[in-house]
Amino acid sequence: MSDAVDALTGQWRRERPDVDVWPMEVVGRVSRLSRLLERGLRELFAEHGLEQHEFDVLATLRRSGPPYELTAGALLKAAMVTSGAITNRIDKLERKGLVERLRDSGDRRSVRIRLTEAGRELIDELVPRHVANEARLLSGLDAEDRDHLVRLLRQLLESLGDTSLD
């Protein structure tokens, strides 16, 4: 069995036998998987008029627990994007009636973003479908292989310093 990365690395081995291209076998596959998985996720979100980053904001608020709100700064950290990008996402979700901005009466500079009832209902409907979609996308692996892959990916992420949501 072979894939596109095998073809790519085969070409490099032929052209540059002096370079050990094993890292391309991992990074290339992770990159290709990322694109394929994102495509599979995007389709489900689009059915509900959402983009993946909008789903991520709703999911972040929902998993924060009652009252399902965070400061804009906390959302910014969780999303790992620029403040302009998170503002744009919040604006779009607010226009859709899925989140609302709440000003802190004690500190006018502080804004909390809260799921609306419609936002909570939508994310509660979507999460089980999202997880089922992810399971479908990973159905090429049996349980033992999935567990092994989870351990390896966790080990790699930890080695790169990715140990928290910040």
Looking at the domain assignment, is residue 164 inside a domain?
Answer: no
Between 73 and 30, name the one with better pLDDT. Answer: 30
Q: What per-residue confidence (pLDDT) applies to 105?
A: 72
Residue 78 within a domain: yes
State pTM to two decimals.
0.84
Q: How many residues does the chain have?
A: 166
Q: At 151, which CATH number?
A: 1.10.10.10
66 and 141 belong to one structural domain: yes
Percent of the chain with pLDDT over 70: 95
pLDDT, position 80:
62
Determine how many CB atoms are found less than 10 A away from the CB of residue 25.
14
pLDDT at 81: 66
Residue 165: pLDDT band by 50, 70, 90 thresholds?
A: low
Nearest Cα residue to 114 out of 156, 161, 64: 64
Q: Mind listing the pLDDT tens digit for each residue in 89-144?
A: 999 999 999 999 998 777 667 889 999 999 999 999 999 999 999 999 999 999 99
Torsion sign over Cα 36, 40, 41, 42 = positive
Per the structure, the count of domains in the chain is 2
43 & 117 share domain = no
> What separation in angstroms does the CA of 142 have from each of 2, 37, 135, 138, 146?
19, 18, 11, 9, 6
Inside any domain, residue 165: no
Q: How many CB atoms lie within 10 A of CB 161?
A: 7
Do 35 and 65 belong to one domain? no
Task: Check: CB of residue 136 under 8 Å from CB of residue 150.
Answer: no
Backbone dihedral angles phi then psi of residue 114, each to the nearest 5 degrees? -125, 140
Q: Is 84 inside any structural domain?
A: yes
Structural domain including 72 reads 48-159
